[in-house]
Amino acid sequence: MRLDPHSMAETPEDGDGDTSVVTRTRPKTQRPPLYKVLLLNDDYTPMEFVVVVLERFFGITHSQAVEIMLTVHKKGLAVVGVFSHEIAETKVAQVMDFARRHQHPLQCTMEKEE
């Protein structure tokens, strides 16, 4: 196949008998993986404490915090947010430390997003 960039006839199948394809050399851009931060239900942590946690560490409004807390309470868990590995780790540590200091069994974990 000829390699004349100006020729309109130069297509992957240009009738010259070969079956070459045009391949791009640009590599696929890699994105860093993201992590879901999950809040887990338990029977003992007060609802209002969970709302405060969500407002304080996830920067969401009071009504959004109530909504997420109630989802966790009813369904067992909910995704609170999606972050880079470092930010997700920090959020989990902040929540776990705050809960421990207040002697509540609240659990927060992270999971790689597929």
Of 38, 39, 95, 110, which lies in the binding site for ligand TYC, with binding defined by CB under 6 A?
39
Near ligand TYC in 59-78, by CB under 6 A: 69, 72-73
- Closest-CA residue to 53 (of 86, 89, 88, 92): 92
**Shortest distance in whole angstroms from residue 47 CB to ligand TYC:** 5
**Considering beta carbons, is residue 10 or 109 the nearer one to ligand TYC?**
109
Q: Count residues binding ligand TYC (CB under 6 A).
A: 13
The reply on whether position 106 binds ligand TYC by CB under 6 A is yes
Binding flag, residue 41, ligand TYC (CB under 6 A): yes
Which residue in 12, 47, 102, 112 binds ligand TYC (CB under 6 A)? 47
Q: How far apart are CA 12 and CA 24, in angstroms?
A: 13
DSSP 15: S
Distance of alpha carbon 96 from alpha carbon 98, whole angstroms: 6
Distance between CA atoms of residues 68 and 50, nearest Å: 9
Interatomic CA distance for residues 88 and 34, integer angstroms: 9
Interface contacts to ligand TYC, rule CB under 6 A? 39-43, 45-47, 50, 69, 72-73, 106
